[in-house]
Chains A and B, each alone.
Chain A
Amino acid sequence: MFKLLLTCLFCVVVTSATTQNIITEKNIRFIEYYGFPGGNSAWDDIGYNPMDNTVYVGITDHRDKVALYIYDPVKDSVKLKGFINDLGRLRSFQWQAKIHSKFAVGPKGEMYFATDGGESREEYLMEHPGGYAGGFMMKWDPVQDRMTNLGMGMQYESIKDIDVDITTGNVYAVSYPQVHFLIYDQQRNALKDYGRLGSAHVPRMMFTDTWGNCYYTDWRQRLVKYEKSQDKLIFASNSLPAFEGTPGEHIITGITAFAKDEKKGVIYLITYGAKVLAFYPQQNGIGRVEDLGGVIDIPGKQRWNYYVPNLNVGDNGKLYYIIGGHGIYAKKDRSLLVEFDPATKTPRILFEYPSTVFVEATGCNTKDRDGNMYFAGKKNIPPGTDKNGGLAELGGLSTVPFLVKFNPDKTVY
């Protein structure tokens, strides 16, 4: 209760109650993890399992320890299921610094994810004795409470994201730093490498459609589709829309977030150039893309220069995302929770937080049966005030992670 009050004190409700639904602090909640004081962050590694209505999150110390948590919204309970190195039977020389991929559900309700080596130690020590062996794909069976290690992607390479063909259980993956597009056929234990698709920075997000085709972006921020029916990659002829003046380093990073509105047959995307897009997938060929505008427009700031590594679609058809992180903020050291109406193409800021309350969130397309949406959040701990023992990210500030539960239509307490 004290924490709720504290959160309320620090957040600024900026919504207007005149013509729109009233959204207050009762609609958002920060849920703490337990049992891993060194854990400081999550990196897109959140996902929803519709089979048993649970939310999965990986929390890391950004060094060599990653915890698996499962949140049950009905019981309102967070459970620490264990640490990836133990659950996945990894040896010490197969250390993993984080899970960077989403948690993606398979055909039988199993949850898939992949591991990542983190920063410089992963990328440059390589074949050195202290180097990184490579990222693994893993499968969690919620019925048996058991992890299966599906093996490595590429030697020395992290896996930044995965998704799953819901019809076959094949796992799509993208490697870091060489941006190789991989498909793992677990029935045949066959890994196929479709080669390098990116430039100097790896786009962090891939996603699938209802037919099980997978999408990614190339170095020109063009959609690349794995066309299942042809077993090949096809490329959009045009780049995704971008604001004039968007720098190259934002183009090559592709999309940072997606969320599906399956009723409407649309997948919403946010680019690293801060565009909101509506993508209408089709079974064969690459579908239509509609430009919905910018994620926000703060006077005096470039339209492309907002960082949004998260996105959810509410049951009301509106988009919700948190702007800010990785040194890019709409307002200095403040994160904004924004509602975006695709019908009117307008954003409105619902909450504004100082970075010591809420600094950054990841997580896409994570919504439970009751329309509650989830993000993997964290807050900065000012130097010298860390009472929780959370380790600083390598080269960064000390942070404490939490699960964000948000529902614009209901209280979440």
Chain B
Amino acid sequence: MKRLIIGILQLYVCQLYAQYSFFTPEDAFAIEVSLDNTSLKRLPGYRNAITSLVVSGDYIIGGTSADAGLTPFVFTASLSKREMHSIVDVENVIPGQQRIRTGFSKGKNNTFYAGTLPGVIDKKPNAGGHLIAVTVDAGGHPVIRDLGIPVPGEGIFSLTIDAKGNNLYGITYPAGIFFSYSIATKKINTYHDIVPTAKDTELFSEYLLEADDYLCSALAVARNGLVLGSAPVNRMFAFNPIVQQFEFFKKEIPEVWGRRSLGQIESWAMAANGKLFAGNAGDGQLLEVDPVSRNIRNLGKPIMMPRLRGLAFAYNGKLFGIAGALPGYAHLFSYDPAKEGFKDYGNPQFKMIAPGVEQGIDWRGFQLGTIASSEDGKYIVIGEDEAFSQLLVFPASAAKD
């Protein structure tokens, strides 16, 4: 009885503090990734924004971005143990890098590819962002192999891989040069077709936009082999690797009137049937992109805010995504074209249990940077983009219609 009264009182207090509910599904959990001044296996502050994320078997693989003057990490965390597993300081492998924001592209033999962005863009021939190949060894530790600098003097802003795992395609930073990299031969080709023109740059300067705002932030490879992405201003391109030619869609990326200059694709996901979905950072629209008809279908905005930072399909065909970002905060949403359309879950708030907080504390996700599904699609993993970023994990089945 006493417990009941306490429970009611606490419920009342909770209501006073928060007149709303969070997405708190059963069996969801948070993994503490970042913590300063600790003997626990954690990332230090300001070097841990989880800007690249993938799941391989039991291991979540994260790549981070750091604040200016600091360097990133690659880490693994265990889904089953719900804890950090292993950390590699990228500075010890490739010095001078700041961001790994390309995501991981899965290649052959469970090799995951990413690109780095240096802290200082230096035009020297031996400076720039590196392609890296990450594998997880038998002990669950990430192993980073340096594949070199594809375009000297440039960082790597976005990256994808073809279906057979033979070639990488990327876009450099800040110039926006498209490149291809043959994994077998290490041959690099560069293309200037999507580099912003002087006219584009003038337009961007009118809106005080910088390379981070207008370069294509995510690439995808369609079932027909075309490499898809956005190009200034507000265009969708398709690169045909066979003939090595670019084609621009006749239809522009859907815009909110007056915000054409903000068009930027920042996320992709491919459904089991090959359908491609993209997120437009400019105003947060979810798009269905048909690489055959070159049609772009505007599916709408899950929330009022701009940004659509990540997309991931669950085992049941439900598409999860991250809408919104600073100066507001991100919402987890799902999209089901057949039934409910968009569903907004708001901020996820999952229980974090770790040594020292064995009773569990609630971790509320505000700035969600990345999202990925486990290999079987049963778990959805979210990486935060904070000064101290953590992982949020929930079973996809918990997000019911």
> Whose C-beta in chain A lies nearest to the C-beta of B365?
A200
Contact between B361 and A219, CB atoms less than 8 A apart: yes
Interface size class of A (residues with CB under 8 A): 35 or more
Chain A CB within 8 A of B45 CB: yes
Residues of A within 8 A of B388 (CB): 195-197, 218
Question: Is A155 on the interface with B (CB-CB < 8 A)?
Answer: yes
The minimal Cβ–Cβ distance linking B79 to chain A, given in whole angstroms, is 22
A396:B16 contact, CB within 8 angstroms: yes
Contact with B along A305-331 (1 / 0, CB 8 A): 100000000000000000000111000
Binds B, one of A122-130, A275-283, A342-350: A122-130
CB distance from B164 to the nearest CB of A (A): 41
Is B349 interfacial (CB 8 A cutoff)?
A: yes
Distance A212 CA – B396 CA, assembled complex (angstroms): 48
A124 contacts across to B, CB distance below 8 A: 20
Interface residue from A197, A201, A305 paired with B17 (Cβ < 8 Å): A201
Chain A 50-77 near chain B by CB (<8 Å), digits 1 or 0: 0000000000000000000000000000
The yes or no answer to A119 lying at the interface (CB within 8 A) is yes
With most chain B CB atoms within 10 A of its CB, the pick from A219, A239, A245, A252 is A219
| Residues from chain B with Cβ under 8 Å of A199 in the complex | 352, 361-364
- Interface presence of B125 (CB below 8 A): no
Residues of A within 8 A of B356 (CB): 220, 239
Chain B residues with CB under 8 Å of A178's CB are: 329, 366-367
* A11-19, A143-151, A163-171, A228-236: which lies at the interface: A228-236
How many residue pairs link A and B with beta carbons under 8 A? The number is: 99
Residues of A within 8 A of B359 (CB): 245-248, 251
Residues of chain B in range 346-364 having any CB-CB distance to chain A below 8 Å:
349, 351-352, 356-357, 359-364
- Are A196 and B362 in touch, CB under 8 angstroms? no
> Contact mask B189-207 → A, CB, 8 Å, 1/0?
0000000000000000000
Q: Which chain B residues in 11-27 approach chain A with CB under 8 Å?
A: 12-13, 15-17, 19-20, 22
Interface residue B9 (Cβ < 8 Å from any Cβ of A): yes
User: How far does the alpha carbon of A326 sit from the alpha carbon of B15 in the complex, in Å?
Assistant: 10
Q: A145 to B181, alpha carbons, bound, how many Å? A: 68
Nearest CB on B from A198, distance (A): 9
**Bound state CA distance, A194 and B363, in angstroms?**
19
Residues of A within 8 A of B (CB): 119-120, 123-124, 126-128, 154-156, 177-178, 194-197, 199-201, 218-220, 233-237, 239, 245-249, 251-252, 300, 302, 305, 326-328, 395-396
Query: Closest 3 CB pairs between A and B?
Result: A195-B387, A248-B361, A155-B327
**Interface pairs (12), CB distance under 8 Å:** A194-B387, A196-B388, A200-B361, A200-B362, A234-B37, A237-B38, A249-B362, A252-B361, A326-B17, A327-B10, A328-B13, A395-B15
